[in-house]
Amino acid sequence: MSLKQHILQLFENSRGQALSGQQLADALGVSRASVWKAVKSLQSDGYQIVATTNKGYVLQPTNDILSEQSIRACLPNKYDGIDILALKTSPSTNAEAMTRLMQGQLKHGALIVADEQTNGRGRMGKSFFSPKKGIYMSVCLCKNIENMQDVMVITPAAAVAVRRAIADLTGIDAKIKWVNDIYICKKKVCGILTQADIDFESGKAGTFIVGIGINFVEQNFPDDIKDRACALFEGQPTVTRSQLIANIYDNLITFSDDLKDREFMAEYRTHSLVMGKEVCYAINCEEKKGRVTDIDDDGGLVIQEGDTVRKLTCGEISIRSSENEWI
């Protein structure tokens, strides 16, 4: 880690508090001139570091530049050993993770984040709008899972991790649209894409990449999604992206440590956007409609259509709202 990165970590650990040049110099065993140069470099990178006479330097609480240091400062100490890669831009954090996985460079718990994606992807090969100042994160879960039912709940676990983090940090009661989207006021604020590295000889899934994309601040959404998408914050955010990323990460790792414990599925059902609603879905290219009666502990959507009960384990659905509109 460079001197600049060391100083940034000290600032992030003391965000909002004054650190004198001498304090920083003594802590790192360098000269005050070296500290001054590093601080100037950080300021030129956009960090909101204010110099106060007779007090020192203060990293402003509202500073929201994603960095390894900003995320580590928000994580519990038990995650000190994880690998964190913070990128200014990436075609896709999931693609970045998969490339590093194939090269043997990823360990369990590795976290990759980017300020923007130039080729963000969602489920079914769809593009995912990923401009600057969003949250685009991928978490590597290296786990040998033999039970495919446990595999199926990784995405619901991620959805609960996101919803819980949003509620805890902002008080916003976001809802989950089966199986992988988070909504606020009938508009999508987050999408989740889980990809797996499967050994077809053994039938085991050994590594999972969980990608999470969140519209953090208001954006100029493209015409094709502007009526269906929203941001977590329309004005000044009340939390930083690093705080939200760290909270989501902690929730997801905790859930994934014991996927056989389906306690989080109760939370998934409680905050579901689809329970009791009429939905439209497709089976073998044939459009069907029915009412959702349950979401089971394996993440399956239970649908009643006349006398027929079906369980969906994958696919996409549209929901008819109380205002008789499709979401």
Q: In whole angstroms, give the CA distance from residue 195 to residue 323.
A: 35
Which parts of 66-224 fold into alpha helices (H)? 68-72, 93-102, 148-152, 154-170
> 127 pLDDT band (50/70/90 cuts)?
confident
Question: Is residue 200's pLDDT more than 60?
Answer: no
80 φ, ψ (degrees, to nearest 5):
-60, -30
**pLDDT tens string 155-169:** 999 999 999 999 999
In the three-class reduction of DSSP (H, G, I as helix; E, B as strand; rest coil), residue 92 is classed as: coil
**End-to-end CA, the chain:** 47
**pLDDT tens string 266-301:** 999 999 999 999 999 988 888 999 999 999 999 999
Predicted confidence at residue 307, as pLDDT, reads: 92
The CB density around residue 168, as the number of other CB atoms within 10 Å, is 13
Q: In whole angstroms, give the CA distance from residue 225 to residue 105.
A: 36
Enumerate the β-bridge partners of residue 312.
301
Q: In whole angstroms, give the CA distance from residue 244 to residue 49.
A: 22
**pTM to 2 decimals?**
0.94
The CB density around residue 282, as the number of other CB atoms within 10 Å, is 13
Region label for 295, one of left (φ > 0), alpha (ψ between -120 and 50) or beta (otherwise): beta
**pLDDT tens string 41-53:** 999 999 999 998 8
**pLDDT tens string 227-257:** 999 999 999 999 999 999 999 999 999 999 9
Give the CA dihedral 193, 234, 177, 164, nearest 10 degrees.
80
Segment 78-85 mean pLDDT: 96
Cβ(237)–Cβ(217) under 8 Å? yes
Question: Is residue 77's pLDDT more than 60?
Answer: yes
Q: In whole angstroms, give the CA distance from residue 13 to residue 51.
A: 17
- What is the bridge-based pairing of β-strands 278-283 and 18-19? unpaired
| Residues whose CB falls within 8 Å of the CB of residue 57, separated by 6 or more in sequence, listed in order | 11, 18, 19, 20, 21, 24, 39, 49, 50, 51
Q: Which DSSP state fits 107?
A: -
